[in-house]
Structure 1
């Protein structure tokens, strides 16, 4: 199996956020949750729990976003 971009999901105090997803995205999240469970040797987690770490990883690897954050933090300082 190829290496997944996400590792085990950390428990953290959640903030409620409601979104609607296309059915295809939900099916893909469920499949990813199952694959992640197999890769980590744990049971598949709820697909919704994948969204925060996926978004965090996406934002952390977005160069334009990182540049924008650096620029804004310099303006505030």
Structure 2
């Protein structure tokens, strides 16, 4: 069994977003959906993978996490409200 970074998809209220992908990225996304479908035994829509992949990427990006914490802490500092 392959250890994929994504697990089961959560059914959540979506926000519509239109993106353009390079053909190679689209092919890889479709291939990922096929592998995930064979692993889970359920049909997987490749387009539905984009959001959890982005979420996973941002969750594991340490530089982003630090920058986000810095922004939040600056907005909560006493000087930010003066």
Q: Structures share a fold, TM > 0.5? A: yes
Aligned position for 2:55:
56
Q: Structure 1 regions of 5+ residues with no counterpart?
A: none
Aligned position for 2:12:
12
Q: 1:2, CA displacement in angstroms?
A: 2.2
Q: Structure 2 regions of 5+ residues with no counterpart?
A: 77-82
Report how many residues are paired.
Answer: 76
TM-score, structure 2 normalization? 0.87
Map 1:34-49 → 2, pairs under 5 A: 34-43=34-43, 45-49=44-48
Aligned position for 2:80:
none
Q: 1:23, CA displacement in angstroms?
A: 1.1
Quote the Cα distance in structure 1 between the aligned partners of 2:64 and 2:27: 28
Q: 1:18, CA displacement in angstroms?
A: 0.5
TM-score, structure 1 normalization? 0.93
The answer to whether the Cα contact below 8 Å between 2:2 and 2:39 also exists between their aligned partners in 1 is no
Structure 1 residue ranges (4+ consecutive) displaced by more than 6 angstroms after TM superposition: none
